[in-house]
């Protein structure tokens, strides 16, 4: 390993362990993390050997064009006895062709179940599915979002956070306008609509966010919470005294909220269009049915009065 990797590996991570599976699937390169379910005892040739795990992962397969199960193999064996660099290579279970390579620095911890792992690299890079309407929602700031995504994939916390923060601040009005559109289509309360309209006119970002923290249609809540309320704290604090790891965590959370909000806006507007179409179709059916009955009655009356 180089000096920078050694320095990173020496930084003590005090966070709660995450599963080795979650670490591989979701965390960017450059991340050092305590992981659970990293080692297991295997019986080999009448001996018990401590082996590094290779959990089944759910990853994007370009060949299959979708998320699939991947099975992994350690390139130099799965022994957890030594601190070492190694490649963990995954292959799509469906097509058997598409592969994902992880380069990891790892060591088993004394409990012989958990481990400390540094993700040195991965290829192809971390795949993050983006809603189709996200570029429209973010407008000219979509390129800033993609730059933030690149930084996040590389574990550059301050860079990712700065880009995502710029996106939200610059797109404040457009985000609120889309939310206002949903609110009107859902026939939200007059007070809620007025609050959102006032927030759009507010030039100071923090004040605008504060105004809408309690005013949002239920269908746009993220995990049961107002997305602007969730964004308020990470967007209102300075990053000058924050570590790169903390900025990476905040950047990840901002991205998750933005993506979920985009999906909910798309779903809410889509559902309203479908509902409007269904209502229109039912009304048309009712009108046509009434006309058919009138025509039938008219025909019967004509038959009765004929000589």
Q: Can you give the pTM of this predicted structure?
A: 0.63
**Looking at the structure, do residues 116 and 23 belong to the same domain, yes or no?**
yes
Q: Is residue 7 part of a domain?
A: no
What confidence category does residue 14 fall into, taking pLDDT thresholds of 50, 70 and 90? very low
Residue 56 has pLDDT above 80, yes or no: yes
- Structural domain of 235: 134-268
Are residues 227 and 248 both part of a single domain?
yes
Structural domain contains residue 231? yes
Q: Flag whether 299 is in a domain.
A: no
- Could you give the residue ranges of the DSSP H alpha helices within the chain? 3-10, 20-26, 134-138, 142-153, 157-170, 172-185, 190-201, 205-211, 227-236, 244-305
In a domain, 143, yes or no: yes
Share of the chain above pLDDT 90, in %: 27
What's the mean pLDDT in 61-67? 92
Question: What backbone torsions phi and psi does residue 68 show, to the nearest 5 degrees?
Answer: -135, 170
Say if residue 113 is in the same domain as residue 231: no
Does one domain contain both 67 and 168?
no
pLDDT digits (tens, 9 = 90+) for 136-183: 888 889 999 999 998 988 888 899 999 999 998 888 888 899 889 888
DSSP state, residue 30: T
Which residues, 6+ apart, have CB-to-CB distance to 262 below 8 Å?
131, 133, 134, 137
From the list 36, 30, 34, the residue with the least C-alpha distance to 7 is 30
Q: Between the ranges 25-39, 207-221, 229-243, where is the mean pLDDT highest?
A: 25-39
In 3D space, the residue among 104, 113, 97, 100 whose CA is nearest the CA of residue 57 turns out to be: 100
| Mean confidence (pLDDT) of the chain | 81
What share of the chain has pLDDT > 70, as a percent?
Answer: 80
Please state, in angstroms and rounded to a whole number, the distance separating the CA atoms of residues 79 and 49.
Answer: 8
What integer pLDDT is reported at residue 117 of this predicted model? 93
| Residue 188 domain-assigned (yes or no) | yes
Indicate if 220 and 246 belong to the same structural domain. yes
252 and 145 belong to one structural domain: yes
Is residue 288 pLDDT above 90, yes or no?
no
pLDDT band at 6 (very low <50, low <70, confident <90, very high): very low
Mean of the pLDDT values across residues 8-12?
A: 43
* Spatial separation of the C-alpha atoms in residues 31 and 248, rounded to whole Å: 10
The domain total for the chain is 2
Tell me how far apart the alpha carbons of residues 238 and 188 are, in angstroms, rounded to a whole number. Answer: 35
Are 196 and 230 members of one domain? yes
Residues 24 and 94 in one domain: yes
Whether residue 255 sits in one domain with residue 138: yes
Element (H, E) at 35: strand 32-36
| Domain-terminating residue out of 69, 93, 123 | 123
Q: Which of 115, 142, 94 is nearest to 258 (CA)?
A: 142
Question: If you average pLDDT over each of 8-12, 183-187, 199-203, 286-290, which comes out highest?
Answer: 199-203
Same domain, 186 and 110: no
- Supply the pLDDT for residue 89: 96
Question: Is 289 domain-assigned?
Answer: no
Last residue of a domain, one of 99, 123, 147: 123
Convert the pLDDT of each residue in 111-125 to its tens digit: 778 999 999 999 998
């Amino acid at each position: 390993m180089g000096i920078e990797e050694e320095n990173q590996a020496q930084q003590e991570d005090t966070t709660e362990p995450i599963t080795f599976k979650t670490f591989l699937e979701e965390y960017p390169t450059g991340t050092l993390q305590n992981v659970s379910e990293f080692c297991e005892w295997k019986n080999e040739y009448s001996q018990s050997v401590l082996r590094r795990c290779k959990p089944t992962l759910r990853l994007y397969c370009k060949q299959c064009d979708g998320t699939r199960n991947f099975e992994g193999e350690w390139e130099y064996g799965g022994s957890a006895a030594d601190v070492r660099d190694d490649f963990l290579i995954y292959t799509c279970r469906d097509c058997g062709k598409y592969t994902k390579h992880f380069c990891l620095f790892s060591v088993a911890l004394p409990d012989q179940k958990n481990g400390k792992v540094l993700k040195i690299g991965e290829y192809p890079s971390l795949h993050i599915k983006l809603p189709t309407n996200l570029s429209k929602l973010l407008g000219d700031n979509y390129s800033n979002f993609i730059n933030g995504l690149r930084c996040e994939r590389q574990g550059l916390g301050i860079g990712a956070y700065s880009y995502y923060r710029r996106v939200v601040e610059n797109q404040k009005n457009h985000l609120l306008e889309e939310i206002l559109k949903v609110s009107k289509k859902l026939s939200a309360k007059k007070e809620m609509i007025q609050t959102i309209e006032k927030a759009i006119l507010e030039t100071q970002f923090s004040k605008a966010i504060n105004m809408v923290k309690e005013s949002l249609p239920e269908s746009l809540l993220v995990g049961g919470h107002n997305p602007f309320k969730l964004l308020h704290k990470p967007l209102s604090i300075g990053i000058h005294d924050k570590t790169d790891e903390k900025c990476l965590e905040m950047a990840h959370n901002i991205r998750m909220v933005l993506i979920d909000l985009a999906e909910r806006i798309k779903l809410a507007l889509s559902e309203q269009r479908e509902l409007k179409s269904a209502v229109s179709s039912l009304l048309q059916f009712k009108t046509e049915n009434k006309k058919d009955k009138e025509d039938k009655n008219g025909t019967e009356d004509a038959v009765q009065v004929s000589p």
